[in-house]
Structure 1
Amino acid sequence: MLSFCTQSIPAEFLPGLKELDEVNILANGVNYHSYVRHIQRRGLNVYALLGDPWNTLVEAVGLEAGKTCVLTKDRGNSLWFDGFNDDGSMITEVVFKGAATLMKKQPKPDFFEERK
């Protein structure tokens, strides 16, 4: 089991948070309230998940070293957590709602026609 590990989230994933703030992570129907702190790691701005709520989540879902976890933004400070085994099977109840790539400027679809 992973224990007392530090998970970090890119700062642009959670814009507008303070240096020390709270996030909510939904995993297996349980909402985990965790604090995050803005830090620099390997030259990148990230938020590090702090303390017992993250460690409790890791233990509750059975996340182990080498497993894949996906945090998907719901809204505001809320995140969905999905865990996967090496073969791609789920180790958590599915909460993944889909994802979109963030772009600075959305390109117009090929079928878009400008009004004159």
Structure 2
Amino acid sequence: MSDPLDTVFAALADPTRRAILTMLLEDDMAVTDVAEPFSISLAAISKHLMILTRAGLIAQEKRGRVKWCKLQPDAMRGASIWMQGFGQFEPVHLEAFERFLAAELPDRPDK
């Protein structure tokens, strides 16, 4: 894949890689910390990280003996602009959605 947009979408297609990106929203993480919540090998996580790195979605750097991962959110800008061109992907307003549900389903049992 030579098109950057194709590379980004291919990287985002995998649920494990999306979960990794979500984790990196909080802060930079060591590779071993990224791997911890997953029930797959460190080698498998390293492959996912390489795909995310090639897509430009994360950067990896060595600090001492530890390899760290950092989110690169600007890499998603092209995909976001492309999706917005369809006009269907506007920001979700959760409060408005909750009000809509409350109006449509007034007899729903509370949790």
Name the TM-score, length of structure 1 as normaliser: 0.27
Greater helix content:
2
Rg comparison, structure with higher value: 2
Name the TM-score, length of structure 2 as normaliser: 0.28
Greater strand content:
1
